[in-house]
A = this chain, B = another copy of it.
Amino acid sequence: MASSEYSLRRALVEKQSSIESQGNAVRELKASDAVKADVDEAIEKLNALKLEKSSIEKQLQAAVSGNPDSSVNKEAFRQAVVNTLERKLFYIPSFKIYRGVAGLYDYGPPGCAVKSNVLSFWRQHFVLEENMLEVDCPCVTPEVVLKASGHVDKFTDLMVKDEKTGTCYRADHLLKDFCNEKIQKDLSISAEKAAELKHVLAVLDDLSAEELGAKIKEYGITAPDTKNPLSDPYPFNLMFQTSIGPSGLSPGYMCPETAQGIFVNFKDLYYYNGNKLPFAAAQIGQAFRNEISPRQGLLRVREFTLAEIEHFVDPEDKSHPKYSEVADLEFLMFPREQQVSGQSAKKIRLGEAVSKGIVNNETLGYFIGRVYLFLTCLGIDKDRLRFRQHLANEMAHYAADCWDAEIESSYGWIECVGIADRSAYDLRAHTDKSGVPLVAHEKFSEPKEVEKLVIAPVKKELGLSFKGNQKKVVEALEAMNEKEALDMKSSLETEGEVEFYVCTLGENVTIKKSMVSISKEKKKEHQRTFTPSVIEPSFGIGRIIYCLFEHSFYMRSSKAGDEQLNVFRFPPLVAPIKCTVFPLVQNQQYEDVAKIISKSLTAAGISHKIDITGTSIGKRYARTDELGVPFAVTVDSTSSVTIRERDSKDQIRVNVEEAASVVKSVTEGHTTWADAWANFPHHSSGSVED
């Protein structure tokens, strides 16, 4: 807890007690019929104390909510973005005419185009440029696969039920909301109490079902809608369950991630890659999580598109051949140490983070760099993007290191991409469960000599001594580890015999020198067999898109100043439509020119929209600014047309014949708008725009 908050809470308690004693003093004066001047003076003092208390309250309020106005502003900003998105059908609550289903959304035409552009660029930036092996696996997954991966047993959230209505809530959400509410709105709680609540928030993710339940009881938390008592927390599996085939005997689930489809194919993919490491497989697909209580619009939903990469690498060599291409990138990183010591994220050169060991290895660093480039190319603001390292308690026990690309939105910092070194966990789990070894081999250029322990029980001697127990003694001898065996060897050499505990017999036996030969032998090996490590960048496409919407949105005044107009500043790469074509006024000649340009744009593969309605040109611009269309061609003569850039509203004049190629060039990034601005005559919009 910040020290100012702590001292303010203390000051508030003191002030309250001063007010109470002064109140008593006033009452006593009145009761004792004191002179009016004395009474007035005491009341004045009381009022002054109340004013001071109120001032402390204001300071405390500001301290607990950061900028006192910021949460209000964030809400208003989000409302403006979401209104525009829903009105323009970027997204729509699914099954709206049936009052919808929480946590399910449709992408309407512009949203669907943005999503498709983001996925195309993902394929270009990762799959094609890195020669990844893309696969496409079904969503329906048999239980055995998700049993092996751990999802059947562990992919749960803790839930509590309203004991009367049966409504379900996430236990940690209720506790979190309670603590936040108390801290931010109840100024009367003591500094110690506030510190306790903050501690609960910090350890929330680590609490067991019992601990969560105890806290809920202790704080008297009830069902938010009914105030009814709540059940104890119990785990709820987040996978959508179903049944495969008609028998009802083959349980299955809708995949909670796409990664398992890649892991189970490792053997074939490794072969396809010529039995060489490293290589990466990739998959774009739907993932399903039956959230207990979906929140935050597109950020926590029950079905979403994931794009995942599984990069398989030799655990003994995690270097990356293209690492140098990203090593000089510098961006906001938030290492574990900074988080624990209460510092904030800071700009670090990626190469430095890797060389100092802050980032575990080059390959992990390479992907962090590539993810940074991917997100910023899409239009994510680099100052509101940070890479946060997982704390020890967040990370799975098997993970070597894990970083989240977090994007700041009106909901706070949102995890949008997870980049984890999962070591050999997944391949080992499927090897164990399926019995099919998911391993790689390194052939040595020449055979290597290795020392191996050899334990050779002399069965005849053992048989003579132990008769029917011979087999158990042999097994126990063979099961010794290296240290035990070498200890026995030296004892036998010095003393000739040794006492040896055989657990299957439950007793010690005496082993003589003649009964076992223990030696270290040199062997030649031609290859090394190992389970590859997996480095997994996993992209929540819907979350990235939502953050992109927020980062791209702004409002500006209409020319007349009487209206606030909404704009999405999407880069052409992302924009749902690249260009509009408008005849300035309704007129057959202009329409014909518009159609000619439209045809050229189609031939050039530029998605565009032609609008020949009689609406004013200013309104038509405003409408397409709201869709984030970067360029508008306006036909105001039969020989030349204007091209307007969305954000600057600058216009150039080009010949009809070259209009499509100029748009193509600036859209596909062959030239910039600045180039076009330098090369073509400018057009002053004059009174046209509004």
Contact = CB atoms under 8 A, between A and B. Distances in A.
A220 to B, nearest CB: 23
Contacts of A430: 97
B245 A95 contact: no
A245 B89 contact: no
A145 interface: yes
Contact of A128 (B436, B607, B613): B607
A599 to B, nearest CB: 11
A109 B89 contact: no
Nearest to A101: B142
A111 B436 CA distance: 24
B136 A112 contact: yes
B95 A109 contact: no
Contacts of A602: 128-129
Interface string A136-171: 111111101100000000000001000000111000
A100 B252 CA distance: 13
B113 A135 contact: no
A246 B290 contact: yes
A142 B106 contact: no
Nearest to A131: B609
Interface stretch (A235-243, A370-378, A563-571, A636-644): A235-243
A50 interface: no
Given A108-B272, A236-B246, A246-B290, A138 B261 contact: no
A240 B243 contact: yes
Interface stretch (A29-37, A263-271, A589-597, A646-654): A263-271
A109 B96 contact: no
A140 B89 contact: no
A140 B303 contact: yes
Contact of A265 (B108, B131, B286): B108
Contacts of A113: 134
A92 interface: yes
- Using C-beta atoms within 8 Å of the partner chain, give the interface range for chain A: 35 or more
A79 B245 CA distance: 26
A109 B138 contact: no
Contact of A97 (B89, B244, B267, B605): B267
Nearest to A607: B128
A240 B254 CA distance: 10
A107 B135 contact: yes
A245 B98 contact: no
Given A92-B265, A128-B607, A135 B106 contact: yes
| A interface majority secondary structure | mixed
A288 B89 contact: no
A240 B108 contact: no
Contacts of A609: 131
Interface in A166-197: 166-168
Given A135-B107, A138-B94, A268-B92, A101 B240 contact: no
Contact of A167 (B95, B247, B261, B436): B247
Interface in A44-64: none
A168 B245 contact: yes
A139 B142 contact: no
Contact of A108 (B112, B254, B268): B268
B240 A138 contact: no
Contact of A247 (B135, B168, B264, B436): B168
A327 to B, nearest CB: 21
A105 interface: yes
A609 B98 CA distance: 50
A82 interface: no
A573 B240 CA distance: 38
Contacts of A286: 139, 286
A399 interface: no
A290 B250 CA distance: 12
B254 A98 contact: no
Nearest to A102: B245
Contacts of A236: 246
B89 A136 contact: no
Contacts of A240: 140, 242-244, 252
A595 to B, nearest CB: 13
A292 interface: yes
Contacts of A433: 98
Contacts of A613: 274
A136 B602 CA distance: 23
Residue of A133, A135, A436, A607 with most partner-chain B CB within 10 A: A135
Contact of A272 (B89, B123, B124, B140): B89
A492 interface: no
A616 interface: no
A247 B293 CA distance: 11
Interface string A597-611: 000001001010100
A500 B679 CA distance: 86
A104 B138 contact: yes
Nearest to A165: B247
A525 to B, nearest CB: 25
Given A98-B145, A112-B134, A241-B243, 9 more contacts: A95-B145, A106-B261, A107-B136, A108-B265, A115-B136, A116-B123, A128-B607, A138-B302, A254-B254
Interface of A: 89, 92, 94-98, 101-102, 104-109, 111-113, 115-116, 123-124, 128-129, 131, 133-142, 144-145, 159, 166-168, 236, 240-247, 250, 252, 254, 261, 264-265, 267-269, 272, 274, 286, 288, 290, 292, 302-303, 430, 433-434, 436, 438, 602, 605, 607, 609, 613
16 contacts: A89-B272, A101-B142, A101-B250, A106-B137, A106-B265, A109-B133, A109-B135, A115-B136, A116-B123, A128-B602, A139-B286, A140-B302, A167-B247, A240-B252, A243-B290, A246-B292
